[in-house]
Amino acid sequence: MTTEGEKKNNTARAEPAARGARCRFCGAALSHVFVDLGMSPLCESFLSADQLNRMEPFYPLHVYVCGECFLVQLEEYVSPSDIFTDYAYFSSYSDSWLSHMKAYTDLVTQRFKLGAKSFVVELASNDGYLLQYFVQKGIPVLGIEPAANVAAVAVEKGIPTLVKFFGVELAKELAGKGQQADLIAGANVLAQVPDVNDFVEGIRILLKPDGVVTIEFPHLVQLVDNNQLDTIYHEHFSYFSLIASEAIFAAHKLTIFDVEELSTHGGSLRIYARHAANGSLPVGRRVTELREREIAAGYKRLETYSRFSEKAKATKRNILEFLINARREGKTVAGYGAPGKGNTLLNYCGVRGDFIDYTVDRNPHKHGKFLPGSHIPIFPPERIGETKPDYVFILPWNLKDEIMKQMAYVRGWGGKFVVPIPEITVYP
């Protein structure tokens, strides 16, 4: 794979920014641009007031697609230990995410007959938002979470949690102690792993011979179809199609035998995998159907990927057009939410306090801080009722229904909701 990729790319156009960059899965040289969102700060690096006058590091959001394996990826500019050791994202602050994970727990417990003798491991277990539901069922669990501050919250809830990064080394250590898993779960972690081979090989080592692993990640096809350019940020190193994820798992002797298409995070896949040698779980129709759909939609051809750049630019123009017109008419705009994706969007579009006065968030850890790059201040949600803005600009558009329900009182003063993705839309 590598040799062929090198040959092909030596004759292709040179991309100076990617000189030396190689595919994190197959090692081929990266030279095909998926989208270039310019320079952006780390999207979870919220600033305190005393940091506002200091320099702020910006890194490229320049995304490539591998011409060999079609893995869409961002170079690793910052090491995960810089990003994830003091992480501001607490999974438990979203109601719909919690009910999604509770439903998952019921589903897999029944389907794979998990009980008091089973062992469930979650990779990137955050504040214990998922494992708490297994604990309630009396199923032994272990969380693995590199961010010490969120792991501490899980431990307080009585969920055993190791503050470590997962990979081959940790998997060998646990397997060596007889702690192999019947179920390994991972939601929104695979994209955030720079060394995807070390991570998936770790899964193979940690998984019992008849065990099952489920991994959820945003689906690349949804990103492309629905202009989800703001799901691209430095913490997300890879963007997966089913095709790309199957290749990676197969390289580590794991077979994807089922897949579900979920509505979470704007459209995710939940893949179910097992050891290639475990024939008791045959590959289901949902896998072959989705694979064929991706191939028919062009996900094995580079032109399909290169078209995304123009879509991103059109999305930016439309968002700016709305904001310029609103401010020109003297309307006020407040943000709702301070998610990572919001920071990509605001920085790519060049939107600061000149367009959005402030934003609000339910997470108290973010109050009194400022968004990276744009320096928009973050307040508790009550601020909206105090200032009565004309528009509430919803940054976590994947939670728009939940947010519009919670904030329905905005309509009391004639306020409207605005959702930027997939197309800027005003909800009266």
Binding stretches for Zn ion (CB under 5 A): 23, 25-26, 28, 66, 68-69, 71
- Residue 364 burial (C-beta neighbours within 10 Å; 0-12, 13-18, 19+): exposed
Yes or no: say if 199 and 217 are a contact pair by the CB < 8 Å rule: no
- Minimum distance from CB of 67 to Zn ion (Å)? 8
Using the minimum distance from each CB to Zn ion, give the nearer residue, 248 or 424.
248
- Minimum distance from CB of 59 to Zn ion (Å)? 22
| Other C-beta atoms lying within 10 Å of the C-beta of residue 36 | 16
Yes or no: say if 268 and 239 are a contact pair by the CB < 8 Å rule: no
- Minimum distance from CB of 31 to Zn ion (Å)? 12
Using the minimum distance from each CB to Zn ion, give the nearer residue, 25 or 112.
25
Using the minimum distance from each CB to Zn ion, give the nearer residue, 198 or 357.
198
- Minimum distance from CB of 5 to Zn ion (Å)? 7
Q: What is the token pair recorded at 428?
A: 């009266």
Using the minimum distance from each CB to Zn ion, give the nearer residue, 31 or 226.
31
Q: With residue 35 as reference, give the H or E element that holds it.
A: strand 32-40
Using the minimum distance from each CB to Zn ion, give the nearer residue, 125 or 238.
238
Using the minimum distance from each CB to Zn ion, give the nearer residue, 236 or 274.
236
- Minimum distance from CB of 64 to Zn ion (Å)? 10
- Give the C-alpha separation, 134 to 116, whole Å: 10
Q: Which long-range contacts (CB under 8 A, 24 or more apart) does 299-304 make?
A: 299/70, 299/220, 299/221, 299/241, 299/243, 300/70, 300/243, 302/32, 302/65, 302/67, 304/224
Using the minimum distance from each CB to Zn ion, give the nearer residue, 26 or 63.
26
- Minimum distance from CB of 220 to Zn ion (Å)? 14
State the maximum Cα–Cα separation within the chain, in Å, rounded to a whole number: 66
- Minimum distance from CB of 71 to Zn ion (Å)? 5
E strands along 238-339, which residues?
Answer: 238-239, 254-262, 268-275, 333-336
Q: What is the token pair recorded at 262?
A: 């979920």
User: For residue 274, what are the CA distances in angstroms to 125, 256, 271, 367, 424?
Assistant: 21, 7, 10, 43, 41
Cα 245 from chain centre: 15
- Minimum distance from CB of 198 to Zn ion (Å)? 16
- Give the C-alpha separation, 421 to 424, whole Å: 6
CA dihedral 8, 12, 16, 22 (to 10 degrees): -20
Using the minimum distance from each CB to Zn ion, give the nearer residue, 66 or 394.
66
- Minimum distance from CB of 223 to Zn ion (Å)? 18
Using the minimum distance from each CB to Zn ion, give the nearer residue, 64 or 129.
64
Angle at 118 between CA 164 and CA 120, to 5 degrees: 30
